[in-house]
Amino acid sequence: MTKTTPTRYSPLMVTLHWLTLLLILAEFILGETTSRIPNDTVAKLTPLAIHMLLGITILLVIITRFVVRMRTPQPAYASTGSAFLDGLGRFVHYALYLFVFLMAVSGLTLSGQAGLPQIVFGGVGSLPSDFYIFPPRLVHEFIAPVLLLLFLLHVGAAFYHQWFLKDKLFSRMWFGK
Ligand code: HEM
């Protein structure tokens, strides 16, 4: 039996795509606001707990999405007609998966080293005076702008397809027949 190439993404892939966007936007805002609260403020624990839980959810969603992407038929790569732009587009797609993964893993590593699960969820002990004594804190901070840059390249490419190449790329990443 031959597998046919679909013309659009599956409803599962579409759902995972837009869910990832929503979760990551919320996580960025939460991360930036939480990191501005001093560690000796008790009110920091709740936003930190939400940030950690959301981060773990993002990790599970991105792994699921990558596995579904690799194991199910996907539409053909939407070429721009330029080998350079096509190469860049492919690179950005894989880099997005990788850097979201690394962002979540660096957060988890930081959380482990700082003993956050016990402090935030168990109510045992208090937050360290400064997260920067743990190297993963710097990694977490360094990846944030890289992820933002990749995101902007990705959005820019999508609008380039939609408005200049007029190949209706957006409709492939939405529900329909
Ligand atoms: C893709 C998922 C994630 C994103 C996009 C994200 C985003 C961010 C951002 C933007 C910041 C502020 C960085 C800065 O100061 O410039 C931050 C801080 C932080 N994140 Fe995440 N994060 C994610 C996952 C996680 C996970 C899974 C954990 C732990 C389980 C975590 C724990 C933390 C901690 C402890 C801080 C430091 C807060 C502070 O300095 O007070 N993050 N995160």
pTM of the full structure: 0.94
Q: Which residue, judged by its Cα, is nearest atom 18 of ligand 1?
A: 31
Q: Using a 6 Å cutoff on CB, does residue 150 contact ligand 1? A: no
Closest C-alpha to 8, from 93, 74, 86: 74
Q: Which residue, judged by its Cα, is nearest atom 38 of ligand 1?
A: 35
Distance CA(40)–CA(141), nearest Å, equals: 20
Q: Which residue, judged by its Cα, is nearest atom 9 of ligand 1?
A: 31
Q: Which residues contact 170 (CB under 8 A, 6 or more apart)?
A: 158, 161, 162
pLDDT digits 0-9 by tens, 40-61 = 999 999 999 999 999 999 999 9
The CA-based angle 59-64-21, given to 5 degrees, is: 60
pLDDT digits 0-9 by tens, 151-172 = 999 999 999 999 999 999 999 9
- Ligand 1: centre distance to CA 12 (Å): 27
Distance CA(131)–CA(39), nearest Å, equals: 8
Residue 3 is encoded by which pair of tokens?
A: 């597998």
